[in-house]
Structure formats: structure tokens, C-alpha cells
Chains A and B, each alone.
Chain A
């Protein structure tokens, strides 16, 4: 909760994040409430039964879902894709020892993220172009819809290959050889904030381990 308030993200974004998963949450919580056994029996009908234990379990699951969604919302809303790509690179750095191509992966990730809006625009253009030629997207039977996606996907695919070819030429012309032997323009420095947040994280972690009983 503290994280959510500190992030300054408005509540409506969290609600938006929860909305698509609401049915999954309701379904799992109900299942948990109706089918788990143990504890004092409160109500039962045929195979369904509600006990105090199952109500508590349901509540836990609900809170867990909420927390997962909220934390991922905080991450995606407060951090730019670029920073996330750099973060992935930093986190994976130890894998370099196992000859895992971390730099290449990071470059791939950053190029992929950079091309997302470009390809979205292109998809829009192709869709409109095909619509103007009489292709009907998004109506009819499932089979019909899958068929209608072909004139969208094939040009998008060939377009992506063209992008790749031009981009690789341009990269090479600007002196790119491989992603190992490069310096880095961006750098993320460890700040006081980082120390504080890690300390809080550790404190909460220790506390959780302490009160957890098994």
C-alpha cells in the first residue's frame, strides 16, 4: 500500500489494470470458498460448502491477486520501457559468466521496444488499406476472422523483414560490429533512494519470515 501511495499513480489506473482479470479473480475466489474443506462448517448445499477456513482462504487469494496486479501496474506505469530494458540487462549481468549473450539480448530488447509503435502504425495502415479494398475484419465466424487476418499479417511480416534489413545496413554503416565491444551512453547510478528502498524491502522481508509460521 505504501508503495502504491508513494508512486503517486491514480487509483483509476489500478482499477483499469484489474478489470480484465476480474472474472478470473471472482472464479478462483469462489472456487476456493465453495470447495475447500476444513474449519467450522457454516453452510452447505450438495457438494458446496462454506467454512470459516475457506472464507479466509478466499480472502487471501483475493488480496494476493490484488497485490500482484497493483505491483505490476506500479512497475509498468512508473518505468519507461527503455529503463526496463536496461534493468533487464543489469539483472542478467551475472549470467555473462555462463556465456549468456546479455548485451545482445538487451540490444534486441531495446530495438524491439523501439519498433513497437512503428509496427502498430503500420498495422493500422495495412488494416485501413485492406478495408478500403473490401476486407472485413472483426465480424463473421471464427474461421472467417482467422482468414481475414492473413492479408494483415503477411504484409506486416514482410514489412518487418524489410525494416530488419534496412536497420542492419544502417547499424553496420554506423560502425556496429557486435554488442560486446561497445561503451554505454546511459548509466544508472546507485542512489540513496535505492539504498532506502532495499532496506525497507529487507526489513519487510525479515518481518514476514518472522511472523510466518509452519
Chain B
């Protein structure tokens, strides 16, 4: 599989702070959903900002879709990457929903006629067209994140980075946003990097990377990552709901073979248990 992002031996530190990344290497495959999980301060968001060239590397090299992240390429790279940030309020630039979606297009000096077409289509994609004249103060957090996604979809990037985009939403808003990004990813064959501490969000990824204090301590499929609940706990992360359920069952004398199953597997396993009795 082609690597769309290559992070090669990078080092980085914030001013007056110790080295955050020391010789970090990470590949992101084209078309995958990659989840990066880790505690606060593990460097997840910093990594996203380095990939987009919002902050500058100390050492090493990052290549995005064949282009090295540097001052000359920066705008081409930002054309390929769309980031949805954590706080829905702070990334809303426009005075109304449609102005906000148009912001990125205005920056690229897209013609007005075309812009109106794209804005309409993007808002339709996130089912926010009826809200196009609303001001941000009259939208919920989830709706604002939808607008943020529309603003990115309008620019048709190859890569979407969700930088804890669901962490300030209620459970329903979170599921809606994730379903939406999943749909958009499928329709446009995008690569998604989701940065999160929500373990259930990571469970739906193709691959999970655990980042701890600037180092990658594991990269695996969610199934394999979540088998190792001890490792998750040692870096301060929760285990997924199904793992907790299995552990509780084990505690009560019912022995599962594995310590992680997804929802369907778990349901099948319980049905099987019952039918045996």
C-alpha cells in the first residue's frame, strides 16, 4: 500500500520544554483510517500540526503525498490536508454558516459562481443546508463541527485530520460526526487520521497508534491493540467497553478466550454461551 504521509525520524521541542519527539517515524497508508491515541501531553496534536506545517520541525522530514513539508510547499500541502480542531467555537471564522464554509475557498481565490456551487454541495453533504444563514451562536457544538467538516469537504482534500474533533460533543453528536466523516471518507476515498482519547472512536479505525510521551509504543489493528489491556492502562488509557464487560464476566467466573471483541463478536459469543446451557 502507498504511504500518503511519511514521518521520517523527526525531532521537535517547544521552546523552553524538553524534547517532545526524538527520532519519531510513522507511515500513514493511503485510504486508511488511522487512530492516534494517547494521554494529554503525549504529542498527538503536535504531530497533527507538524504534518500540516503549522509548526516547524527541529530535525527530520515529513512527506505528504510526495511533497516535503517546508516553506515552499506549505500551501500545496495545506490544500491536501483538512483539519477539524477540537473547539467548535474557535474554528468558526465566518459570520454565518455559509460564509464559514466559503472561507477556505476565498483563500484559494475561487470564483464566486463556483464558490456558491461548492458551498451548497458541501453543506448538503453534511446535511446543514437548511442552516446556511444561521450565525454560530445559534448552533449546537455538533452542528458547528458539521460546518467545520463542510468547510474542509469544500476544499476536497486527500487527508482529513480530526484533532480531538469530537471531544467537546455529547455522545450523540460524537456518533453523528464520526458516521459523517466515515461516509465522506468512503465517498471520496480519503485518508483519515483521527486523534483522540476516546477509545471507542479508535475501535472503528483500521489501525491504531499508541503515542506516549512522544514515542510510539505500539501500532496495530484495534483488535490486537485492545487485547493488551495492561498496556493501555499503563499509558493511562481506558479499555473499551466490551473489554470491560469481558473482564467483569471473567471476574464472575465466565471465561472468554480473548480479552477484546467488537460488539457483533460479543453478541455472537454471548448467544453461543446461552445456547450451550
Query: In the complex, which residues of chain B have a beta carbon less than 8 angstroms from the beta carbon of A110?
Result: 94-95
Given the complex of chains A and B, what is the CA–CA distance between A183 and B102 in angstroms?
A: 10
Kindly identify, within residues 78 to 93 of chain B, every residue whose CB is under 8 Å from any CB belonging to chain A. 78-79, 81-83, 85, 87, 89-93
In the complex, per-residue mask of A152-175: 1 if CB is within 8 Å of any chain B CB, else 0: 000000000011001101111111
The residue of chain B having its C-beta at the shortest distance from the C-beta of A166 within the complex is: B90
Query: In the complex, which of the residues A117, A172, A183 contacts B106, with contact meaning CB atoms closer than 8 Å?
Result: A183
In the assembled complex, the CB of B145 is this many whole angstroms from the nearest CB of chain A, namely 12
**A3, CB-defined interface residue at 8 Å:** no
Say yes or no: A169-B106 contact (C-beta < 8 A), given A114-B92, A183-B115: no
Given the complex of chains A and B, what is the CA–CA distance between A42 and B108 in angstroms?
A: 72
Say yes or no: A170-B137 contact (C-beta < 8 A), given A185-B115, A185-B116, A187-B112: no
Asked if A182 contacts B94 (CB within 8 A), the reply is no
Given the complex of chains A and B, what is the CA–CA distance between A166 and B90 in angstroms?
A: 6
Query: In the complex, which residues of chain B have a beta carbon less than 8 angstroms from the beta carbon of A167?
Result: 90-91, 93
A side interface size, CB within 8 A: 30
Given the complex of chains A and B, what is the CA–CA distance between A181 and B110 in angstroms?
A: 11
B side interface size, CB within 8 A: 41
Provide the main secondary structure of the chain A interface.
helix
**A118, CB-defined interface residue at 8 Å:** yes
**A77, CB-defined interface residue at 8 Å:** no
Given the complex of chains A and B, what is the CA–CA distance between A182 and B49 in angstroms?
A: 24
Asked if B95 contacts A182 (CB within 8 A), the reply is no
Query: In the complex, which residues of chain A have a beta carbon less than 8 angstroms from the beta carbon of B79?
Result: 175
Query: In the complex, which residues of chain B have a beta carbon less than 8 angstroms from the beta carbon of A166?
Result: 85, 87, 90-91
**B203, CB-defined interface residue at 8 Å:** no
The residue of chain A having its C-beta at the shortest distance from the C-beta of B90 within the complex is: A166
The residue of chain A having its C-beta at the shortest distance from the C-beta of B91 within the complex is: A170
Query: In the complex, which of the residues B78, B94, B135, B136 contacts A173, with contact meaning CB atoms closer than 8 Å?
Result: B78
In the complex, per-residue mask of A40-72: 1 if CB is within 8 Å of any chain B CB, else 0: 000000000000000000000000000000000
In the complex, per-residue mask of B56-82: 1 if CB is within 8 Å of any chain A CB, else 0: 000000000000000000010011011
Please name 4 further chain A to chain B contacts, defined as beta carbons within 8 Å, in addition to the given A172-B54, A183-B111, A183-B112, sorted by A numbering: A114-B135, A173-B85, A174-B155, A181-B109
* Interface of A toward B, CB cutoff 8 Å: 81-82, 85, 110-111, 113-114, 117-118, 121, 162-163, 166-167, 169-177, 181-187
Q: What are 16 pairs between A and B in contact, CB < 8 Å?
A: A111-B93, A114-B93, A114-B94, A118-B136, A121-B137, A166-B85, A166-B90, A169-B85, A170-B93, A171-B103, A172-B78, A173-B52, A173-B82, A173-B85, A177-B107, A183-B110
